[in-house]
Amino acid sequence: MASASLASAGSAPLLRRMHRRDRCALPLALGFALFALHVLLSETETTTPLDGRAHAPGGRARAAAGAPAPSLLPDARAGDELRFFVIGDWGAPRERTECKATQRLVARAMELVARRAGPAFVLSLGDAFYLNGVRSEHDGRLDEVFDETFAHAPSLAALPWLSVLGNHDCRGNVSALLRAGSRPRADAPGGSRAFVLPARHWAWAWRGAGDAGGGNGGHDAGRGGGARFAFVDTCSLVCAPGAEAFEEPSVLADVERVLREPARSAARRAALAAAEARWPPSASRPLGLNATLGRQSECRRMPARSRAAPRARDEQLAWLSEQLRAARAARAWSIVAGHSPIRSAGAGHGDYPQLLRALAPRLQAGGAHLYLAGDEHSLQHAHERGVHLLVLGAGGGLNLHPLQPAARAPRVRWAAAALGFASVRLSASRLALSVYTVSRSDGAGSVGRVLDDAGEPHTVRAAHGLVLERRADGSVEEVWR
C-alpha cells in the first residue's frame, strides 16, 4: 500500500489506493466512524456506566513494577550500545486470515532488518492478542501469535518481547496475562523468551558494559548513564472510573445517551445520528463525536477489573514520576512506552484527552525523551515540549487507519498509513530511531524487498528517522530527522 505523507492524507484518496488484501478487516478499514458503528450495532457490550459506580472494580491493580524471571530480560550490561525493535498492534486474530497475512508480511520485513540491526529485544506496544485478550494463562493464543511471527522472523524467536497492555488485551483476563508474562515459556521454539509483561506497569534499565552497578559506572558523567524504560498501562489511565471527566462534558452527555440505548436497536441508530449531527468534525474536534464515542465504548468492553481503580491509576502516575526523576538524575535516556497515543493524526482515535492532561505533563516535567505508543494503526511522529511522540501501531494485526487531513493535525511532523515498525539504536551519547515502512511502492531508503503470501513483492524502506545527541553539559539536542 502506498505510504501517505500527512500533507496528502485525505481518507478517501488513501482508501482508493489501498489494495484489497491490505485492508485486512474490511468493515473496519473505512476509518473510525464505521468502527464505532460496528461496536455500537454489532457487538455484545458490558453495561458498566461511564462513571463506574454500579460495578466498581473488584480488585486493585499492582501499583509497583513486577519482578519477571531474570532469564526473561535482556542483559542490562551488554555492550556500549543497545539496539531494539518497536512494534504495536500486531497479534492478528486467528479467524481473520487477511490480518494474519499482513502480520506475516511485517514479520518478514522485521527479519530482513534484524539480520543487519541485531536487536537485543522487541518492545511490543500492546494488542498482541486480538480481539479479546486471553482467557487464561494456558490460552493457546499466548503461543499462537508469537509462533506465527517466529515462523517468518526466526531471528526474533530467541529475543524477549518487553510488553505493555493494549485495549484488546484488557478485554480478556489481565491477571492471567501478567502471570504468563512473568515466567519463561517452557516449550519455546528456538529457546524463545517471548512475551515479558510482569505487571500492569513496570520498568527496566540498561546500563551498558561500562556500568558496574553504581550510578553511571564507567560512563562519562556528562554523556549519560544508559537508558531507562517505563512501561505504562493506558487501559487504566483512559478507562479507570473517573477518567471520563477528561472528556468534553457536552459531548460525553450525548455519548451517554447513545450508549444507553440497546445495541443494534433502531433507538441507538437514531440517537447516534442525532449526536453526530450535533458534533460534526471541526478544527477543535477533528473526529467529531466518534473519538469520544469510541473511547467510552471500548472502556465498557473491558471487564471492570481490567480498567483498574482510580487509586491504582493515581499510584501509577506517581510511580512514573519517580521513574522519570531517576532517569534524569542518571542522565539516562528516558523512554516511556504505552499503548494509547497522546497525540494522533489518525482517523481511528485521535488525541486522548485523558493522556494529554494526566500523562503528558509528567513526561514533559520529568524530561522524557520518547513516548512510544500504538493503538492508532499507522506510523506517526510528533514533538511537543521536548518529548518526541511516536505512534507505531501498524504491525498488521488489524486494518490500517486512514489519516486526518494535515490541517487537523498541525503538531504531527510525519505520518504514513502504511504497515511498519521502528528500530532504535542508542549509546550513552546518541539515540537514533528509524521507522521502516512495508509497501508496494519504491522510494528512497529501500533496504530490500519481502514477499507476501501471494508472492507479490513489497519494499521495506527506512521512511523516517530521528537522532538525538547528548552534549557534554548533559543537554540533549536533535541533530537530524
Q: What is residue 391's three-state secondary structure?
A: strand
Task: From 339, 374, 377, 341, select the one nearest 356 (Cα to Cα).
Answer: 341
> For residue 260, how many other CB atoms are within 10 A of its CB?
13
Grid coordinates representing 342 are: 497522546
Q: Amino acid identity of 95?
A: E
Per residue of the chain (481 residues), give pLDDT as tens.
Answer: 333 444 333 333 332 333 333 356 433 334 444 444 443 443 333 322 222 222 223 332 333 345 566 667 888 877 889 999 999 999 999 888 889 999 999 999 999 999 999 999 999 999 999 999 999 988 989 888 888 888 899 999 889 999 999 999 999 999 999 998 987 665 544 444 578 999 999 999 998 765 544 433 333 444 567 999 999 999 999 999 989 889 999 999 999 999 999 989 999 999 999 999 999 988 788 888 899 999 999 999 999 888 888 888 999 999 999 999 999 999 999 999 999 999 999 988 999 999 999 999 999 999 999 999 999 999 999 999 999 999 999 999 999 999 988 756 667 899 999 999 999 999 999 999 999 999 998 778 899 999 999 999 999 999 999 999 999 888 999 997 5
Beta strands 161-163 and 121-124 are: parallel
Report d(CA 395, CA 393) in Å as an integer.
6
Computed on alpha carbons and rounded to an integer, the radius of gyration of the chain in Å comes to: 21
* pLDDT on residue 441: 84
Q: Amino acid identity of 287?
A: L
Distant-in-sequence, close-in-space partners of 366: CB < 8 Å, separation ≥ 6: 320, 321, 323, 324, 325, 327, 328, 334
Q: Are 89 and 124 in contact (CB under 8 A)?
A: no
Q: Integer distance in angstroms from the first to the last C-alpha of the chain? A: 24
- Give me the half-sphere count of Cα atoms (radius 13 Å) on the Cβ side of residue 172: 23
Grid coordinates representing 168 are: 484488546
Report d(CA 200, CA 342) in Å as an integer.
19
Report d(CA 400, CA 380) in Å as an integer.
13
Residue found by looking up cell 543487519 in the block: 116
* pLDDT on residue 9: 35
* pLDDT on residue 50: 28
* pLDDT on residue 214: 40
Task: From 211, 268, 274, select the one nearest 38 (Cα to Cα).
Answer: 268
* pLDDT on residue 6: 42
Q: Are 233 and 305 in contact (CB under 8 A)?
A: no
Residue found by looking up cell 453495561 in the block: 47
Give phi and psi for 419, each to the nearest 5: -65, 150
Q: Are 87 and 122 in contact (CB under 8 A)?
A: yes
Give phi and psi for 211, each to the nearest 5: -100, 120
Distant-in-sequence, close-in-space partners of 311: CB < 8 Å, separation ≥ 6: 60
* pLDDT on residue 77: 75
* pLDDT on residue 71: 67
* pLDDT on residue 26: 37
Q: What is residue 199's three-state secondary structure?
A: coil
Report d(CA 265, CA 164) in Å as an integer.
35
Number of H helices, E strands in the chain: 13, 15
- Long-range CB contacts (< 8 A, 24+ apart) of 182-190? 182/66, 182/67, 182/68, 182/69, 182/72, 183/68, 183/69, 183/72, 184/69, 184/71, 184/72, 185/142, 185/143, 187/143, 188/157, 189/147, 189/150, 189/157, 190/150, 190/154, 190/157, 190/158
Q: What is the DSSP string of 201-247?
A: SEEEEE--TT--SSTTTTS-TTT---EEEEE--HHHHHHSTTGGGGS
Report d(CA 456, CA 186) in Å as an integer.
36
Report d(CA 250, CA 459) in Å as an integer.
46
* pLDDT on residue 436: 98
